[in-house]
Amino acid sequence: MEIPVEHKKMVLVRAGTVEDIPRGEGRCFTIQDRRIAIFHLEDGSFGAVDHDCPHRGGPLSDGIVGRDSVICPLHGWRIDLRTGVVIGQEGKSVKTYPVRIEQGEILLKVQG
Ligand code: FES
């Protein structure tokens, strides 16, 4: 029987290590059958969003990483990595995931 989303608990899942993603870049990880783009920002923090651009599915992990946003490599939509909102495209967004770093490990909070 499928468990309703609101009753699923959040779990921490290891995605990789801090060294897997150079500063200013993103990488794609498959976590629980979802492709998630994780970014290592210039200030040392991390952000994570669903990998595929909500425009036409562009690979956000290959985008140009700004201070706290990424620009899709296909047509240039800019996505705020803190909120998932597509800037300038009303109503468009991607799901974000809380990231925690523990002893060099990248941990993502996802629904279990
Ligand atoms: S697919 Fe991302 S902007 Fe078009």
| pLDDT tens by residue, 85-99 | 999 999 999 999 999
Q: Domain of residue 79: give its range.
A: 5-111
Could you give phi then psi for residue 60, rounded to 5 degrees? -65, -25
Give the pLDDT score at 2. 56
- 7: confidence class by pLDDT, cuts 50, 70, 90: low
- 12: which 2 tokens? 């921490």
- What residue owns the CA closest to ligand 1's atom 3? 75
Residue 27: partners with Cβ closer than 8 Å, 6 or more residues away: 16, 20, 21, 37, 38, 61
Answer whether 0.85 is exceeded by the pTM. yes
| CA-proximal residue: ligand 1, atom 4 (nearest) | 75
Phi, psi for residue 4 in degrees, rounded to 5: -55, 145
Average pLDDT, the chain: 93
pLDDT tens digits, one per residue of 44-85: 999 999 999 999 999 999 999 999 999 999 999 999 999 999
Q: Does residue 64 line the site of ligand 1, with CB under 6 A?
A: no
Q: Can you give the CATH number for the domain in which 69 is found?
A: 2.102.10.10
Number of structural domains in the chain: 1
Question: 50: closest CA among 21, 20, 81, 78?
Answer: 81
Please state the atom number of ligand 1 nearest to the C-alpha of residue 72: 2
pLDDT value at residue 112: 75
